[in-house]
Amino acid sequence: MNRRLFVCAGAVAVAAAAGGFIYTRSARQAPPPAVPPPAVPPDALASLLALSLPDLDGKPQALSQWRGQPMVINFWATWCAPCVKEMPELDELQKKAGKVKFVGIGVDTADNMRRFVAKVPVSYPLLVMGAGAVDMLRGLGNPAGGLPFTLVLNADGSIKQKILGQIDPAVLEKTVMGLAA
């Protein structure tokens, strides 16, 4: 019986060692290349840039007024914790960025957004799109419609970068300052 137990324990130890070796070896291999996100249909981006949305005073603002300059368009909401956290970072970056235009599009109500900016001032335009923005987000390559969602556009209106989730300020600054040069 002792000998049988010893043989079984030895077999288990060999199997565990082999499994550990295989696991460790596979963990050291480079991960498969990331699959790029689906391209944004040109009509979805054109639809966004053709919009005229109310600002916090209710005055319509056409996104096309900023055509020909690089833009950072940030979709956000007052009830979205990561959105709220990144707003001061976006505002600070906007002040450094020179010719790059920042625009915040609220997936919220104008009243909520006005109360928010009374506490957390933002120096770039905030436009109101409301819940209808979720369909727009999906068309722009954000299938879940999650927030925050940021688009960085080249001066020609093409997408330079899409960021789903909270921004990394250092990474975004590098991208934006490259556009501002």
Domain ranges of the chain: 44-178
Q: What is the pLDDT of residues 116-125, one digit of tens each?
A: 999 999 999 9
Homologous superfamily of 44-178 in CATH?
Glutaredoxin (3.40.30.10)
161 pLDDT above the threshold of 50:
yes
Enclosing H/E stretch for 14:
helix 2-28
Predicted confidence at residue 40, as pLDDT, reads: 67
Run of H or E residues at 12: helix 2-28
pLDDT digits (tens, 9 = 90+) for 19-76: 444 444 444 444 444 434 456 676 899 999 999 999 999 999 999 999 999 999 999 9
Sign of the dihedral through C-alpha 54, 125, 165, 86 = negative
Out of 7-21, 118-132, 152-166, least confident range = 7-21
Residues in the chain: 181
- pLDDT of 34: 42
pLDDT at 109 exceeding the cut of 90 = yes
| DSSP state, residue 120 | S
CA angle (168, 142, 43) in 5-degree steps: 120
Strand order in the sheet with 71-76: 126-128, 101-106, 71-76, 149-153, 159-164
Closest CA to 94 of 167, 147, 34: 167
Least confident interval from 10-14, 62-66, 88-92: 10-14
Least confident of 2-11, 40-49, 127-136, 137-146: 2-11
Please, which pLDDT band fits residue 180 given cuts at 50, 70 and 90?
confident
